[in-house]
Amino acid sequence: MANPTFKLLSEGWNAEPNAPEPKVEVEGSWVRLEFYLNHHAYAASEEEVGRLSFQNSSAWRLGSTNDEGWYLGQCRYSGIAPNWGEFYELIGPDDRRSAPTDWNIRAPIGEGDRHFLFYFRDETFECFAENWTFERGLERVIAA
């Protein structure tokens, strides 16, 4: 089975480990993911929000894989991803990428699409997109 390489993207920041409350918004070709930042381990205020925006997204999902499933080996990347709770880009061949059945398909996944993965406490976010940006703010923009 082909395993991808996991490139850590969340250097110097991360999601709140107990209650990140991830929310997704789709606008045109953009998918935005919003969550509370980890103020326990990084420089962030208690209610500070992180926003990941994915440009020209072809597919995304916010699934139910949680940290317990990860540590029990029930996650499709258990044992090959470096750590739970991080934001990664998956690079290279990946026989597991289409395993989830809850993808929100916006367009056919293209050759230039990059695969992004973020493990939250109770959910896993994935997105295929051309590029991404990260910004931080003090309040939520995406409605519950």
| Residue 70: both structure tokens together | 């990860």
Mean pLDDT to the nearest integer, 11-35 = 94
Query: In the chain, which ranges are E strands?
Result: 5-8, 23-27, 30-36, 49-55, 59-63, 87-91, 104-105, 114-119, 124-129, 131-137
Give me the domain span that covers residue 67: 5-137
The per-residue pLDDT for 84 is 83
The per-residue pLDDT for 66 is 66
Does residue 45 belong to any structural domain of this protein? yes
34-91 pLDDT tens trace? 999 999 988 888 889 999 999 999 999 998 876 787 788 888 888 888 888 889 999 9
Does residue 99 belong to any structural domain of this protein? yes
Does residue 84 belong to any structural domain of this protein? yes
Number of domains in the chain: 1
Q: Full-prediction pTM beyond 0.85?
A: yes
The per-residue pLDDT for 144 is 61
